[in-house]
Amino acid sequence: MNKTVASLVVDSLIANGIETLYCVPGVQNDPFFDALYDRQEKLNPLHTRHEQGAAYMALGAALATGKPQALCLVPGPGFLNGCAALCTAYALNAPLFAIIGQIPSGAMGKELGLLHEIDGQFEMLQSLTKHAEQIVRGADAAGQLRTAWSELRSGRPRPVAVEVPVDVWLHDVDNAPDNLQIASPAPPVVDPAALADALRLIGAASNPLIAVGTGAQGHSALVRDFAEKTGAGVMAFRTGHGVMDSRDPLSLTMPVGHALWMECDLLIGLGSRLTTQKMDWGVDDDVKILHVDVDEQVLNRLVPATVGLCGDLGNVLPALIEGLDEQPDRSGWRARLSEEKQRVAGIIEEAMAPQLGWLMAIRNALPEDGIFVDELTQIGYVSRFTFPSYRPRTFLSTGYQGTLGYGIATALGAAHARPDVPVVSIAGDGGAMFTIAELATAAHHHIALNVIVMNDNAFGNVKGMQRDRYDARYIASDLTSPDFCDLARSCGVSAVRVSTPQALQDELEKAIANPGPNLIEVMVGTFPSPWKYIQLPRLRGG
């Protein structure tokens, strides 16, 4: 029996391990959802209240699990509503498989004014993904899906997409292979000469520092072993948190790394672009760079690596660890790491005390394996250099995109994909309103998300910058926010309001014990600016 393109796409998702499709249905994708109807026991369509909610949920599920996730949106406005999540997924190296509808194939590019028609949709889709396929013939569909899955599973993990016009869903596919599963390719072989150069570089260093990013999240044990054997401090900013247990003596926040930057003679990048160190802090001839990344293009970006190793950390780190000779005595360097950690922590504890009070209340209530989802809010910014993370994939961030309003829906996806651990989302009252509608999704699907809204009736960061940098010339920053507790309860979500860190800790502990979705509204005032600890000044180079 011949398949249709619609049934082939459904089978392809199932064969490649997708269990949930985050989606908002619509007319251009009706044939696809009709094909899905009889396969719901294998592929569950989880519908949201807004397209951005569906795309963010897929993102959160991918970040929390490290596994590919799928989403489906209609063309035009639906696709555009999901674009912020797609560009954030691209920045975060998240493996998303996006299925995007399209107007009839014969009408594309003709500007006929059809429902959901926009010119250049596929080109936009290509710019937001590492690879995109436009399926316009049933005869080509199987090969194009295979290519899309191969791209998703190879090299740097980023979103891929397929676009399907409404009339093509029902095209016959008479050449579909029986096995639609695409295996991950073998990782690239480590260059022995480059490996030897890397080992010599490590052996010659006195004061090494490691920077970890998204690419290290799946290799936490190896990173910790490598750091211990080399005595290198390990820095994490947004996407590298949890790779090292924050309690490890070698785990460093970025302000600590910056304080030690002038003494560093070897920077080792593990699954990180090293943009902060190369571009912001600066480098000179006295600091060598060993850069390990699965994406060869990043190895020489901005500043060429002294030694670059292209490969998966799961292969490269064991080779480096095995090849390490007896290392120089770095006990003095370890002592410096400890000294600066203590000194900088003392300064930040005093300077950021208001934000830290709330963050430590959350940390105290959240189990070690609980997931914390930050946001573009004053508490979120400070969390990036103060919030203790103990395990991989337990601190989720927007990375360099800085996507205001992503938090609630992204955390909802994390909570759905990881029902075995509590998930806490923080948001300001400004950012919360972007995806607050997904509280109804949480209640409808019984997803145990815990949302904390820090309410100051303002875009607090914008207003803080206007206060500190523009002589308090406030403009377009005050807000009139709803009663978040009433709003949450109207969606079937448990809600409570608090005004002290201890009350927040107490209520969050109760919320985590409650199986349903919960919201806590926290009434706050102004906060001291965190930016001197984030936008750290240049120290080296011209």
403-428 tens-digit pLDDT:
999 999 999 999 999 999 999 999 99
Tokens of 80: 């555009």
| The pLDDT value given to residue 189 | 86
Q: Report percent pLDDT > 70 for the chain.
A: 100
* Rounded distance between C-alpha atoms, residue 276 and residue 283, angstroms: 10
| The pLDDT value given to residue 77 | 98
| The pLDDT value given to residue 481 | 96
* Rounded distance between C-alpha atoms, residue 221 and residue 217, angstroms: 10
| Among candidate residues 78, 83, 72, the one with its CA nearest the CA of residue 6 | 72
| The pLDDT value given to residue 1 | 53
> Would the pLDDT of 2 be above 80?
no
Helix, strand, coil shares of the chain, percent, nearest 5, are 45, 15, 40
165-179 tens-digit pLDDT:
999 999 999 888 888
Q: Could you give the domains of the chain?
A: 3-173 (3.40.50.970), 192-344 (3.40.50.1220), 352-531 (3.40.50.970)
> Would the pLDDT of 113 be above 90?
yes
Beta bridge partners of 270: 212, 292
> Would the pLDDT of 487 be above 70?
yes
> Would the pLDDT of 436 be above 70?
yes
Would you place residue 187 in the very low, low, confident or very high pLDDT band (cuts 50, 70, 90)? confident
Tokens of 65: 């699990």
| The pLDDT value given to residue 507 | 98
Would you place residue 186 in the very low, low, confident or very high pLDDT band (cuts 50, 70, 90)? confident
* Mean per-residue pLDDT over the chain, rounded: 97
From the number of C-beta atoms within 10 Å of its C-beta (0-12, 13-18, 19+), residue 146 rates as: middle
486 Cβ contact partners less than 8 Å away, ≥ 6 residues apart: 495
Residue 46's SS3 state is: strand
Beta bridge partners of 523: 455
> Would the pLDDT of 355 be above 90?
yes
Q: Which residue has the tokens 């293009």?
A: 297
Would you place residue 146 in the very low, low, confident or very high pLDDT band (cuts 50, 70, 90)? very high
**Helix segments in 291-406, DSSP class H:** 313-323, 331-351, 353-365, 378-386
Residue 227's SS3 state is: helix
272-284 tens-digit pLDDT:
999 999 999 999 9
> Would the pLDDT of 465 be above 60?
yes
pTM score: 0.97
| The pLDDT value given to residue 540 | 96
